[in-house]
A and B are shown apart, each in its own frame.
Chain A
Amino acid sequence: MVQKTPGLDPGVFVYTESISSTVSLCNLMTKWIIGVAVVVVVALGAWWYFAQAPAAKEAATPASTAPDTSDQALVQDSAAIDAQLQALDAQQ
């Protein structure tokens, strides 16, 4: 933007116009840089979110393990049941 001030040398007009153009360019670049930065941050956030989701889902689902069906395990389970039933009988 050229601002003409009466009584000043014409060279000053050119100088003022140059500064004004440079400031406008800087403003435009700043806007672009901020815009690109916002887009990059949003993209990185989305990527991080979708990268985490499957891992979290996997962690929430416990891995199924085969139960211990040995004789000892069966005897221990029977004893635990007996203890529970005795506790039930004790609650009269």
Chain B
Amino acid sequence: MNTSFNKLVAAAALAALLLPAIASAQSSAATSTALTATERVAQTVTAQATHVQKAADLMAALSLKLSLRLASSTASSTDIAEANTALADLNAQIADARLQATAAFGHVASATAADSTKANTNAELKIARADIVVARQDFAAARKDINKILQVLGVAR
């Protein structure tokens, strides 16, 4: 009887110790889940914008090489003119993609600002995603320009 009572007291004490900790963990988990939804989107857009910047840097380096090759190319003047047009468009697409990435970074910063309201956060993230979409379109056009120039230069891929 006495032993059972001791076990009961021990169990009650253990429960008193553990229950607040469990409740606290559940509460913080719920909070972090709510935060993660917004933060996850912000992190994704930031990662995408970083990829956009890297891709733009790579394309800019390739653009320089393509311009050097075109300058010494022996292709027909018509082809060279087409390639130069494609090169100009390529540089424009790269520049716009960089602008979109910078804008996306800015909108993510506004969305994650401490004083940002929920509505503002959602709106800013939506705009940031739209910036990334435009950057993708820029790159799609830029890729076609690169292929066109490589074709004129006779570079097999």
Contact = CB atoms under 8 A, between A and B. Distances in A.
Chain B interface helix/strand/loop/mixed: helix
A17 B65 CA distance: 88
Chain B contact-residue range equals: 20 to 34
A74 B52 contact: no
Contacts of B65: 67-69, 73-74, 77
Contact of A85 (B62, B66, B69, B139): B139
A78 B55 contact: no
A78 B52 contact: no
Contacts of A67: 61, 64-65, 68
A74 B69 contact: yes
B99 interface: no
A5 interface: no
Contact of A91 (B47, B59, B139, B156): B47
B128 to A, nearest CB: 13
A81 B155 contact: no
A87 interface: yes
Interface string B135-157: 01001000100100010010111
Given A68-B65, A69-B65, A88 B136 contact: yes
A91 B157 contact: no
B44 interface: yes
A84 B58 contact: yes
B48 interface: yes
B51 interface: yes
A14 interface: no
B54 interface: yes
B155 A74 contact: yes
A67 B66 CA distance: 10
Contacts of A89: 136
Nearest to B142: A81
Interface of A: 66-69, 71, 73-75, 77-78, 80-81, 84-85, 87-89, 91-92
Given A71-B156, A74-B65, 13 more contacts: A67-B64, A67-B65, A67-B68, A69-B65, A75-B155, A77-B65, A80-B58, A81-B59, A81-B146, A85-B51, A88-B139, A89-B136, A91-B44
9 contacts: A67-B61, A77-B65, A78-B150, A80-B58, A81-B58, A81-B59, A85-B51, A85-B55, A88-B139
